[in-house]
């Protein structure tokens, strides 16, 4: 049996690990956070549940559509909306949300493989096997025959630098060319129900804000709570500003849209929000190095593309092992 380590617990890593586990591989996924999901992130604030990263996903490819019926049956996902009244510019098509927030699909997939949480990867070492060495003063070491890395492109190259590892010059150039937008997200508790109607979201209300939504209307939160996503331009400008500088503008605009006060709030920074330039292929696979790379920096924007990147990386391993 071939052992595989997957680095990164976003939807790409979880899709890859799930596909490999069901093909009979022994799979361990290492995730630096306290749980899987990556940018499909849900946070608790008191009695509220807030999706503060990706807000929904769509499904067009049969490989992802094949999961929908089971996920709906298990309340992993729920249809959210397919169009917004008076917004013909927004494409129609069912948007799905997580049953208990956007982390739900990743958590469901993770039941099929081993997850090492709070594992910050310091370096990777290739001998007769791959060794993945933990940093931050910890001492876990994972070993496997094949390694899959699903980090954002810049984090892949940083890991390679720390590990004194490199691929051919063309591949490294393509990896280093991967670029992302940034996003500052404001998460807030509301004084009372908002004035929004279903589906409880407003896109691009002003130039500096991409998204405002009510997580209670969305159906994931008992307590009224909002998510606000700043634009890339605003996020770049205020990336290193303290919350008291970057937050009030987002709060003020959101309160006007929601029709209620935001009583408690904080900001979260997404340094790799959406890929602007990708690797140019859905994944990378090297039988010589027993190494695969995947993620939205390969598959492109949209959760479905990240899912398929991990899925196709797994298929590459199963076909070449």
SS3 per residue for the chain: CCEEEEECCEHHHHHHHHHHHHCCCEEEEECCCCCCECCCCEEEECCEEEECCCCCECCCCHHHHHHHHHHHHCCCEEEEECCCCCCCCCCCCCEEEEECECCHHHHHHHHHCEEECCCCEEEEEECCCEEEEECCCCCCEEEECEEEECCCHHHHHHHHHHHCCCCCHHHHHHHHCCEECCEEEEEEEECCCCCCCCCCEEEEEECCEEEEEEHHHHCCCCCCEEEEEECHHHHHHCCCCCHHHHHHHHHHHHHHHHCCCEEEEEEEEECCCCEEECCCCCCEEECCCCEEECCHHHHCCCHHHHHHHHHHHHHHHHHCC
pLDDT at 138: 86
- What's the pLDDT at 84? 67
Q: How confident is the model at residue 135 (pLDDT cuts 50, 70, 90)?
A: very high
**Better-predicted residue by pLDDT, 87 or 164:** 164
Tell me: the pLDDT tens digits for 67-124?
999 999 999 999 999 976 656 666 668 999 999 999 999 999 999 999 999 999 999 9
Predicted pLDDT at 136: 83
Q: For residue 279, what pLDDT is reported?
A: 98
What are the pLDDT digits (tens) for 220-277?
Answer: 999 999 999 999 999 999 999 999 999 999 999 999 999 999 999 999 999 999 999 9
Q: State which CATH number among 3.30.420.40, 3.50.50.60, 3.40.50.300, 3.60.110.10 fits the domain covering 3-178+277-319.
A: 3.50.50.60
pLDDT given at position 232? 98
Q: Is the pLDDT of residue 188 over 70?
A: yes
Q: pLDDT at position 314, please?
A: 98
Are the beta carbons of 175 and 169 closer than 8 angstroms? no
Task: Determine the pLDDT at residue 32.
Answer: 96
pLDDT digits (tens, 9 = 90+) for 16-27: 999 999 999 999
Q: Would you kindly state where each structural domain of the chain is located, as residue ranges?
A: 3-178+277-319, 180-270
pLDDT, residue 177, reads 98
pLDDT of 92 reads 61
**pLDDT > 70? residue 1:** no
CATH architecture of 180-270: Alpha-Beta Complex (3.90)
Give this prediction's pTM.
0.95
């Amino acid at each position: 049996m071939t052992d595989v380590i997957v680095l990164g617990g976003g939807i790409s890593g979880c899709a890859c690990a799930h596909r490999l586990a069901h093909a009979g591989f022994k799979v361990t996924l290492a995730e630096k956070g306290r749980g899987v999901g990556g940018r499909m992130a849900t946070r608790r604030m008191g009695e509220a549940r807030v999706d503060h990263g990706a807000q929904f996903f769509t499904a067009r490819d049969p490989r992802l559509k094949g999961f929908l019926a089971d996920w709906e049956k298990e309340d992993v996902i729920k249809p959210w909306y397919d169009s917004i009244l008076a917004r013909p510019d927004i494409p129609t098509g069912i948007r799905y949300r997580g049953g208990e927030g956007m982390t739900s699909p990743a958590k469901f997939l993770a039941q099929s493989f081993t997850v090492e949480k709070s594992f910050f990867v310091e370096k990777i070492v290739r001998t007769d096997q791959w060794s993945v060495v933990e940093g931050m003063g910890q001492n876990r070491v994972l070993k496997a025959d094949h390694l899959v890395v699903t980090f954002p492109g810049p984090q892949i190259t940083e890991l390679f630098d720390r590990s004194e590892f490199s691929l051919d010059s063309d591949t490294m150039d393509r990896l280093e060319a991967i670029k992302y937008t940034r996003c500052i997200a404001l998460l807030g508790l509301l004084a009372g129900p908002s004035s929004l109607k279903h589906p409880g979201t407003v896109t691009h209300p002003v130039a500096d804000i991409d998204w405002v939504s009510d997580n209670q209307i969305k159906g994931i939160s008992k307590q009224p709570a909002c998510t606000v996503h700043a634009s890339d331009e605003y996020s770049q400008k205020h990336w290193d500003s303290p919350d008291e500088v970057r937050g009030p503008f987002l709060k003020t605009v959101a309160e006007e849209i929601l029709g209620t006060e935001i009583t408690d709030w904080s900001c979260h920074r997404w340094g790799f929000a959406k890929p602007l330039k990708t690797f140019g292929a859905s994944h990378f696979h090297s039988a010589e190095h027993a190494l695969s790379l995947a993620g939205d920096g390969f598959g492109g924007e949209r959760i479905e593309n990240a899912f398929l990147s991990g899925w196709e990386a797994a298929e590459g391993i199963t076909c070449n092992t």
